[in-house]
Structure 1
Amino acid sequence: MAISQDAQYRGELREIFQAAIQRADPSDALRQALPEKPGGRCVVVGAGKASAAMAAVLESAWPDVALSGVVVTRYGHAVACQRIRIIEAAHPVSDCMSEMASMLALESVKDLGPHDCVIALMSGGGSALLALPRSGITLADKQALTKALLRSGATIHEINVVRKQLSDIKGGRLAKAAYPARVVTLAISDVPGDDPGDIASGPTVADNSSAAQAQAILARYQIPVPEAVRQVLEQPREPVRESDIRSEVRTIATPHSALQAAAQMAEKLGYTPLILGDALEGESAQMGIMMAGIARSVKRHGLPVRPPAILLSGGETTVTLGSSEGGRGGRNCEFLLSLAVALKGEAGIWAIAGDSDGIDGTEDAAGAVIGPDTLTRGPDAGAFLDAHDSYSYFAAQQALVITGPTLTNVNDIRAILIAPEDP
């Protein structure tokens, strides 16, 4: 039986999405980026959704090196290791295991010498997973601030500025604790612009953020500030400078490289790919409206590319809940529902969007797929969009993309398919 065009296009979008994730797999990229084997001790530390998988690759690549250390990853993302301790903790809001992992990481790099080496394995999610509040601040204080910031619509860079100023491990402080040992960071970027200081909030990277910047961000988004946090931010401390550490960062996978792989798959399937950017930010719902306009231009005018085409983009959008409790769904599902509402059932346009780590927000789906019939297959899409309940809408349609943890993270992958013009 011939496959329907709808099923064909949905299947091709999943292939494109999977190609992007596969490019970000740490296995080959990490091996190629390893430094020379150290002559002294080698301590491994790490944090992020991909960090345990990275640790397993490192152990396999260096079977004859006496590795030790600790890596923390999200619950459900652990990979068995023999020489490196793997800890699971909470994401996106830290828990006591995040705090314990941070203390163990700092302890593991103490008393190292100039001939010793620290391999730091950092990936998306590391900011929450490696959490050590500054003296005078409790974990509960940081949890409350993180929850408020995540609901506020603040960018990931802004959130990380606050995190660094309230942490005794972020913003280069892990590398400073390891000095004079050499620190080589192998990073998988999940942040717009691939700034190493934003990947896991840069625990091994010199930092130029300030307490004043953190205070301004909290004021801008009207975040309630616990008294203990206010007092700490009023006592600025010296930042970690390049001269305080011996640190090198090697980025082994990025959103751009993942989009390039998606583009290659699109070409293989017979489409003209167009990468619109790998660092797009803004409100998910507004991004959906904007992308709908571009998709229509492609379909109706052949601009900026003629169909059949695939529009690709990456980055990290936001969902501002404000005082609303919100329903179920992350930024990718919200983007897709907004896109579907804006397209109003326009013929010839399908789309997929998902988080490359396999988890959109806090749900079990990476994202979803939409097509021209999306609005007719469910109840009032606008009401679900207003309630930030996109997951429920797509779950009812069986349109969710469920991959499970992918053990990598290069942020969101979005692909819009504009079908060939009718003959």
Structure 2
Amino acid sequence: MSARELTASSLVKLVRASLARLDLAELVEEHLPEQAMPRVLAIGKGAASMARGAIAKWGSEVERCLVVVPDETDVQALISEARRARVLANVTLVRSAHPLPDARSVRAGRLALALAASAADDSRGLLVLVSGGASSLVCAPTNGISLRTKRAVARALLTSGVTVQDINVVRKHLSRIKGGGLLRAAGASNVLTLVASDVVGGTLSDVGSGPSVPDPSSLTEARAILRRHAPAFANLPLTRTVGPTDSAARRARAHFVASPERLARVVAESLHARGLGVRVLPPSQAGVEEMARTYVRLAERMRPGTAFVRAAEPSVTVPKRDGRGGRSTHLAALVGRELHRRALFLAFATDGVDGSSGTSGAIIDGHFAVRAGARALDDALARFDTGKLHRAVETALPEGPSGHNLADLHVLLARA
């Protein structure tokens, strides 16, 4: 397929195929040592695939495996692999809540801490597999903090426009499991963590609020974030996390197996193979309006047969009475107001769920604003209700958990 033949539907297929190339089971298997760790804990939107990789590598040597995933996650491949390896009875599967924790998250947190504690006297160690979404899937509030308060804090921060890194700093200091809490629970045991990142430009401790890696953030930082972005909770009791110089940190090893930036490079390679001139833009967490203006300006100057690719996590301030929207559908609607007529723009939530929009994002062209209508477009943006708008004009990407979470992917393309 040439650049001239690249359509909206073929671009979507190319992006999905690129995501599938980053097979989390294979990537985990490649990063594991030959010596098995009998206890495996997998948390996040990619947990089922990552746990499958560990079982494929170590087989019957996996004695206990706890897998915590969101609702609707497909776990059949994990079950099949566990059955093949004859360890299905050793696997505990827990479905939990996202994006806000609930009672199931608390139960999952207790199970995770218990599994880590059971490894404390075992020299073979503990394997922890972390992917995006883990922060809400396991919850262990510190003393004096209720689940209701944790949910309220998370909701306030998630709608404030603050970066996910700052949100997770606060989460760590309100938790017994985040910010290295599993290291503390594991005692003298060695802990290996493999991470599939959903945080653009993020560190190992940013993903899932770093449950099994040392945390460089401080109580002072967490308090300042609350004062600025959630002042109603500024005086909550905070707890110290496991710092880089703590004794527990010396027993921790951690590595990335996948990241948003790597996905952007894979997509760029696929586009280049089809004859396009491609540039990968630096990852960004800029505000959604600023990002939209940037894409509109770039589209006006692009030569036919060229493309920009970016891993991103645009910040969005959500109105109190919001509709059914998400970062990707909102950004696409903003870009669509002024997009050049020959351009295509794709904004894709790689986990398959773009907020509450009922989509996984959108793909638009330069005729989007005319098809949507100025009044409907303005109203949807004002109410953060862009999912319905994109479905009405058939620019929505279908919703469904992908088994991944590598933040959002943006492609801006000038057709030949």
TM-score by length of 2: 0.91
One-letter code of the match for 1:237?
R
1:78–1:102 distance in 2 versus 1, CA, 3 Å: farther
Residues 358 and 387 in structure 2, CA contact (< 8 A), matched pair in contact too: no
Distance 2:172 2:57 in 1: 32
Counterpart pick for 1:291 among 270, 276, 295 = 295
Counterpart pick for 1:360 among 354, 363, 367 = 354
| RMSD (CA atoms) | 1.8
1:199–1:321 distance in 2 versus 1, CA, 3 Å: same
One-letter code of the match for 1:281?
Q
Q: CA deviation at 1:222?
A: 4.1
Q: CA deviation at 1:114?
A: 5.4
Residues 149 and 223 in structure 1, CA contact (< 8 A), matched pair in contact too: no
Aligned residue in 1 for 2:284: 280
Distance 2:403 2:242 in 1: 32
Counterpart pick for 1:153 among 154, 161, 166 = 161
Aligned residue in 2 for 1:203: 211
Aligned residue in 1 for 2:98: 91
1:372–1:85 distance in 2 versus 1, CA, 3 Å: same
Distance 1:95 1:190 in 2: 22
Distance 1:78 1:232 in 2: 38
Q: Secondary structure at the match of 1:119?
A: strand
**Percent of aligned pairs sharing the same letter:** 30
Aligned residue in 1 for 2:414: 418
Aligned residue in 2 for 1:370: 364
* 2:273 is the alignment partner of 1:265: no
CA deviations over 1:251-305 (Å, ceiling 9, x no partner) = 111112111110111112221111002x30122232111111112122xxxxxxx
Aligned residue in 1 for 2:21: 23
Q: Secondary structure at the match of 1:383?
A: helix
Which stretch has the larger CA shift, 109-118 or 48-57?
109-118
Q: Which runs of 5+ in 1 are unaligned?
A: 299-305
Distance 2:263 2:241 in 1: 37
Distance 1:239 1:182 in 2: 15
* 2:235 is the alignment partner of 1:230: yes
Q: Which runs of 5+ in 2 are unaligned?
A: 83-87
Q: Secondary structure at the match of 1:295?
A: helix
Q: Aligned ranges for residues 217-366 of structure 1 at < 5 Å?
A: 217-225=225-233, 230-233=235-238, 237=240, 239-242=242-245, 243-245=247-249, 246-277=251-282, 279-298=283-302, 306-322=303-319, 324-343=320-339, 346-366=340-360
One-letter code of the match for 1:254?
S
One-letter code of the match for 2:110?
M
Distance 1:47 1:133 in 2: 17
Which stretch has the larger CA shift, 307-316 or 18-27?
18-27
TM-score by length of 1: 0.89
One-letter code of the match for 2:276?
Y
Q: CA deviation at 1:231?
A: 4.5
One-letter code of the match for 1:260?
R
One-letter code of the match for 1:240?
G
Aligned residue in 1 for 2:65: 69
Distance 1:417 1:11 in 2: 13
Q: CA deviation at 1:8?
A: 4.6
Residues 347 and 362 in structure 2, CA contact (< 8 A), matched pair in contact too: yes
Distance 2:17 2:399 in 1: 13
Deviating above 3 A after TM superposition, structure 1's stretches of 4 or more consecutive aligned residues are 236-242
Q: CA deviation at 1:131?
A: 1.2
Q: CA deviation at 1:172?
A: 0.6
CA deviations over 1:108-136 (Å, ceiling 9, x no partner) = 12242352221101000011111110011
Q: CA deviation at 1:28?
A: 1.7
* 2:104 is the alignment partner of 1:100: no
Q: Secondary structure at the match of 2:232?
A: coil
One-letter code of the match for 1:51?
A
One-letter code of the match for 1:392?
K
Residues 273 and 312 in structure 1, CA contact (< 8 A), matched pair in contact too: yes
Aligned residue in 1 for 2:85: none
Residues 23 and 257 in structure 1, CA contact (< 8 A), matched pair in contact too: no
Distance 2:412 2:31 in 1: 33
CA deviations over 1:322-370 (Å, ceiling 9, x no partner) = 4x31111110111111101132xx2211111111110111343211110
Q: Aligned ranges for residues 179-218 of structure 1 at < 5 Å?
A: 179-218=187-226
Q: CA deviation at 1:384?
A: 1.5
Residues 324 and 358 in structure 2, CA contact (< 8 A), matched pair in contact too: no
CA deviations over 1:370-423 (Å, ceiling 9, x no partner) = 012111212321221122111111010121111521101111011011112xxx
Which stretch has the larger CA shift, 158-167 or 356-365?
356-365
Residues 184 and 242 in structure 2, CA contact (< 8 A), matched pair in contact too: no
Which stretch has the larger CA shift, 147-156 or 113-122?
113-122
Distance 1:291 1:168 in 2: 41
